[in-house]
Amino acid sequence: MKFLPVLLISLVLTACTTAQLNQTMGEVNKAIGKDAPLTSTEVANGLKEALVKGISNGSDMASQLDGYFKNPKIKIPFPPEVKKVEDKLRQIGLGGEVDKFVMTLNRGAEDAAKEAKPIFIAAIKQMTIQDAWGILRGSDNAATEYLKRTTSSLLYDKFKPVIQNSLNKVNATKYYGDIVTRYNKIPLVEKVNPDLTDYATNKAMDGLFLLIAEEEKKIRLDPVARTTELLKKVFGAQK
């Protein structure tokens, strides 16, 4: 049946007026599986839409109660650079204080995640057409990596005070101060005082980027996750 497309086109050319030709040819192309190629605008808008969708879903998941704390992929642990503090405190019966601190640390990240969405979305608006084409043809997390590469510094500066306020709100800073103070009072131990806000800010951002990457991968690989016509067209064309 290879002659069918030719036959259809021949019929179109003989039966249609010039004014009707463009519209009818579009219908014929669609019927034989030759959809119009993606335009640069569609690619850019599709990538932005995918990122906004990923950011919205990722931020919403992270900002829920236990969004960080009960998600092993993004749960923020006791700062590893002071792991000896955690070990020592557990040895002397203060494990409960450590656990309480870890929970409040994650509560702070969950609270801060509510503020992340508009920061990410503002950054997406800066994406160029060239960026969009490169991302579309890139790896399963290319859009997330672009976002991370182009926004991390700015996000850190804007996110850190939010994290600081969130940590204060849930008393994580107080718990951390109490833990470090108790540890530093132990005889013969090396005194420690790492920057909790810096640690929590970076870990909270890492968690968000991970969730966004997972959402991006779904959109690229799972047709069900493409919930708009533009997403279906842009990512469906990359099979």
Dist CA 41 CA 85 (whole Å): 54
pLDDT of residue 227: 66
Closest CA to 15 of 31, 3, 27: 27
Q: Among all chains, which residue has been given the structure tokens 């497309």?
A: 5
- How many angstroms separate the CA atoms of 230 and 92, rounded? 59
pLDDT score recorded for residue 74: 97
pLDDT of residue 121: 84
pLDDT tens-digit profile, the chain (239 residues): 443 343 333 334 334 443 443 443 344 334 334 456 778 788 778 778 877 888 888 899 999 999 999 999 999 998 887 777 788 888 989 888 888 888 988 998 998 888 888 888 887 888 888 888 888 888 889 888 988 988 888 888 888 888 888 888 877 778 777 878 888 888 877 887 778 889 999 999 999 999 999 988 887 777 766 767 777 777 776 65
Asked if 73 and 62 touch (Cβ cutoff 8 Å), the reply is no
| DSSP category for residue 125 | T
pLDDT at 23: 45
Backbone φ and ψ of 220, nearest 5°? -70, -40
Which pTM was predicted?
0.72
**Cα dihedral sign for 24, 26, 30, 32?**
positive
Task: Compute the distance between CA of residue 126 and CA of residue 39 in angstroms, rounded to an integer.
Answer: 18
Count of CB atoms situated within 10 Å of the CB of 226? 21
Q: How far apart are the first and last CA of the chain?
A: 25
For residue 35, the number of C-alpha atoms closer than 13 Å in the C-beta half-sphere is: 8
Largest pairwise CA distance in the chain: 97
**Helices (DSSP H) in the chain: which residue ranges?**
3-15, 18-31, 40-63, 83-91, 95-113, 116-124, 129-136, 142-169, 172-184, 196-221, 229-236
Return the pLDDT at 237.
62
What pLDDT, on the 0 to 100 scale, is given for residue 145? 92
Helical pair 196-221 and 229-236, crossing angle rounded to 10 deg: 80
For residues 114 and 60, give the distance between their C-alpha atoms in angstroms, rounded to a whole number.
7
